[in-house]
Each structure stands twice: as structure tokens, then as C-alpha cells.
Structure 1
Amino acid sequence: MKIALLVVLGLVLGALGGAALGIGAGLAWVEIFKTSSFEGYSGMLVFFTFMPVGAVIGGLGGAILFGLLAFRDSAIAIEREPIRRREP
């Protein structure tokens, strides 16, 4: 259950971060390649192409990363064992 919840969390966080990076990449593309702004073409290019692609890539990457971290129990210490003291 822990693995599934962390995969969903990674999916959501990755999608948000990927969408933000996609917007940034799209704005850079528009500026570098001097894309036409006629009737909002450059805005549609950024928000209908770069943002969804970034969200998909980021969501998959986040889900895989969080899933791998959750699968390896040694990487996530949710509950620690108490330190045992040596008796004299």
C-alpha cells in the first residue's frame, strides 16, 4: 500500500513540476525561434503542446522515481528501531 500511495504522490508532483518545466521550455522555444503570435499562435503552442508533454513526462518520471524509492525499503526509514543500550 505504501508503494502505491508513493507512486500516486510521485505522479501528481511530477505532473505539476513537468507542466511548469514544459511552460518554461515552451516560452523559451517561442523566444528563441521567434514564433508568430498571430491570433495567439505562440500561446496555444506553449499551453497545448509543451505543457501537456511536460506534464506526461514529469508524471511518469515522478511515479517511477517514487515507486523505486518505495520499493527499496532501506531508502525510506518510516519507522526506526529503538537504539538498544549495552548493559554493563
Structure 2
Amino acid sequence: MKIALFALLGLVLGTLGGAALAVGAGIAWVEIFNTSNFEGYSGMLVFFTFMPIGAIVGGLGGALLFGMLAFRDTDIAVAREPVRRGDR
């Protein structure tokens, strides 16, 4: 259950982060390659091409990353029992 919840969290965070980075990359693309702004073409290019691709890639990458981190519990302390010290 922990793995599924972490994968879902990674999906949400990865989607948001990937979409934001893709919008920035799309705006840079429009500026670098002087894309026409006739009837909002450059805006449609950014928000209908770059943003969905970035959201998909970011979501899958985030879900995979968080899922793998939750699966390999030795790398992160998620639900670890406290260490008990023995009587001397």
C-alpha cells in the first residue's frame, strides 16, 4: 500500500513539475526559433504540444522514481521501527 501511495504522490508531483518545465521550454523554443504569433500560434504550440508532453513524461518519471524509492526501503526511512537499546 505504501508503494502505491508513494507512486501516486510521485505521479501528481511529477505531472505538475513536468508541465511547468515544459511550459518554460516551450516559451524558450518560441523565443529562440522566432515562431509566428499569428492568431496565437505560439501560445497554442506551447500549451497544446509542450505542456502535455512534459506532463506525461514528468508524471511517469515521478511515479517510477517515487515507487522505486518506496520499494527500496533501505534507501529512505519511511516506516522504520525505532532501534531499541539492550540492557547492559
Q: Which runs of 5+ in 2 are unaligned?
A: none
Aligned pairs for 1:1-88 within 5 A: 1-88=1-88
Cα RMSD for the two superposed structures: 1.2
- Contact 2:18–2:55 at 8 Å: present in 1 too? yes
1:73 positional shift:
1.2
- Contact 2:15–2:55 at 8 Å: present in 1 too? yes
TM-score (structure 1 length as normaliser): 0.92
Quick one: distance in 1 between partners of 2:8 and 2:70? 11
Quick one: distance in 1 between partners of 2:79 and 2:2? 13
Deviations 1:55-88 (A, max 9, x none): 0000000000001001001123133433433544
Quick one: distance in 2 between partners of 1:79 and 1:11? 21
Residue correspondences, number: 88
Quick one: distance in 2 between partners of 1:80 and 1:63? 22
- Contact 2:70–2:78 at 8 Å: present in 1 too? no
Q: Which runs of 5+ in 1 are unaligned?
A: none
Q: Which amino acid aligns with 1:50?
A: F
> Any runs of at least 4 consecutive aligned residues in structure 1 with deviations exceeding 6 A, and if so which?
none
Deviations 1:22-60 (A, max 9, x none): 100000000000000000000000000000000000000
